[in-house]
Amino acid sequence: MNKSSNQIIMSYSNYWKRALDVSGRSTRSEFWHPYWINLVITSLLSILSVGTLGSLFALATLIPSFTVMTRRLHDSNRSMLFAILYHISGFITKAAMIFFVLGILLASISTENYRIAKTLPVGTAFGVVIAGLISLFILFLLVKPGNKKPNRYGDGGSCEINIKETEYFESTGTMNKVREREQDKSGYTNVDDIDWDKL
């Protein structure tokens, strides 16, 4: 198996292993590989079962997808609030579409409801635009590379710390001393400032 196949398998495996874990960070591959795999599985199940199995699978992946999105946002030093906003904006868009259809139905039933029906599309359009802008901004955060340095959510994800150095220093107890000494104003260790040769 080549490196990219292993990465896909590991990403999808971690997706399920860390299904309830909202702490720490996730790389772009840890977010996007499960995303497209789940999309393919949901589509195939929907075709085979006229939507029932696809809907059940989508429901089963709701929480793991939320947690991996949270960890992905942590990689760019953003809080879980952005993941919540992303999901709320999806609900707003769906609700706006329902109100739009209701407005059309009200207008077609009687002319007395025409004034109400006339304002619904404006409110709907406003809601869709706001929700769409929120979704696009969060999508941008999910696509862009994460922080290369440790941040307030840890040193996983896109952080480029040499694993062997980290394991050595953690096993000898030196890493905690280094972290205590090298904290900057924002409260996290700036790994670039560590003189590894002096340790």
> Which has more pLDDT, 1 or 18?
18
| Same-domain check for residues 109 and 67 | no
Q: What is the pLDDT of residues 68-89, one digit of tens each?
A: 999 999 999 999 999 999 999 8
Please name every residue paired with 154 in a beta bridge, in sequence order, or none if there are none. 151
Question: Per the domain annotation, does 85 fall within a domain?
Answer: yes
Mean per-residue pLDDT, 150-166: 69
Measured CA to CA, the distance from residue 77 to residue 163 in angstroms comes to: 21
Q: Both 2 and 68 in a single domain?
A: yes
List C-alpha distances in Å: 117 to 94, 99, 143, 169: 18, 9, 39, 67
Q: Indicate the SS3 state at residue 69.
A: helix
Q: Report whether pLDDT(25) > 60.
A: yes
pLDDT, tens only, 92-133: 888 878 877 777 777 777 666 666 666 667 777 787 888 889
> Do 24 and 57 share a structural domain?
yes
Residue 155 included in any domain: no
pLDDT per residue as tens digits for the range 30-59:
999 999 999 999 999 989 887 789 889 999
Tally of CB atoms within 10 A around 142: 21
Residues 158 and 27 sit within 8 Å (Cβ to Cβ): yes
Identify the domain containing residue 120 by its residue range.
80-143
118 plus 96 within the same structural domain: yes
